[in-house]
Amino acid sequence: MTDHSAQHGSEARVLSCRGIERSFGGLKALKGVSLHVNSGEIFGLVGPNGSGKTTMVNVMTGFYPPDAGQIELFGEDVTRVSPHRIAERGVARTFQNLALFKGMSVLDNILLGRHVHMRPSALASLFYWVWAQREELAHRRVAEEIIEFMQLEDIRDEPVDVIPIGLQKRVELARALVSEPRFLILDEPMAGMNQEEKEYIARFILDARDERNVSILIIEHHMDVVTAICDRVVVLSYGEIIAQGEPRKAIADPAVVKAYLGERAAQRHIGVAA
């Protein structure tokens, strides 16, 4: 696999997080986390349940303000910028739990991803058939292009709630891509999928990076996927970074094995490996 992160210097960083801290009551969810994502790479954020991964993403995207630290997006300080302003800067996100609108078609769900590009105005409404209709057609062209890219043509008019979970996940990825992001954050995009569905979505993620010039951060529990598609990873445990770097080496770190398996099981694992 090509090391895309090695092709870019710090001046091409999409995201820089420095010393991020976040507490909820007496629970310190993030403890001075620093990481960066380079332009053109797929970056993995991994760790056991409760390690702080989703909290970190919520801080990155403006849903939670950090208690301390700084966040830069495309070289601009966005530490306390609201989520919709983050989206307007070219960031799209999928969520751990599907957020599709039941009863609506695949096409209509995907079209909703164009909302960041829609600029309603009284004047446009007044001259709807000249301007607003033209804008709607432009949005539909982008949606149809993404439907083809994600190979969803056969189900484009189906209600989204009647298609299998693997296809629903694909629709959610399509809805994120239709906003034409520069930076895409995927929160467990392969949860609930079988092996074939995982391979499909991994291919689409790689294609999004390579063909649509999207930098990607992915939270994922499937380590086979992480090692197959990520250029670099950071591993969190109890809100702290315990390993980082090339995926296979980071995941094999004894501290990571211990965090996932527990101390006794980790000792057995390391003993067998030795």
Identical fold, 1-90+181-274 and 99-180 = yes
Architecture of the domain made up of 99-180: 3-Layer(aba) Sandwich (3.40)
Task: Name every residue whose Cβ is closer than 8 Å to that of residue 92 and which is 6 or more positions away in sequence.
Answer: 113, 176, 177, 179, 181, 183, 184, 185
Question: Which of 212, 213, 188 minimizes the C-alpha distance to 201?
Answer: 188
- The superfamily in CATH containing domain 1-90+181-274 is P-loop containing nucleotide triphosphate hydrolases (3.40.50.300)
Contact 7, 195 (CB under 8 A): no
**pLDDT of the chain along its 274 residues, tens only?**
445 544 444 458 999 999 999 999 999 999 999 999 999 999 999 999 899 999 999 999 999 999 999 999 999 999 999 999 999 999 999 987 777 888 899 999 998 888 655 555 544 555 554 555 666 777 888 899 999 999 999 999 999 999 998 899 999 999 999 999 999 999 999 888 888 999 999 999 999 999 999 999 999 888 888 999 999 999 999 999 999 999 999 999 999 999 887 755 444 544 444 3
Phi, psi of 21 (to 5 degrees): -130, 145
* All structural domains of the chain with their residue ranges: 1-90+181-274, 99-180
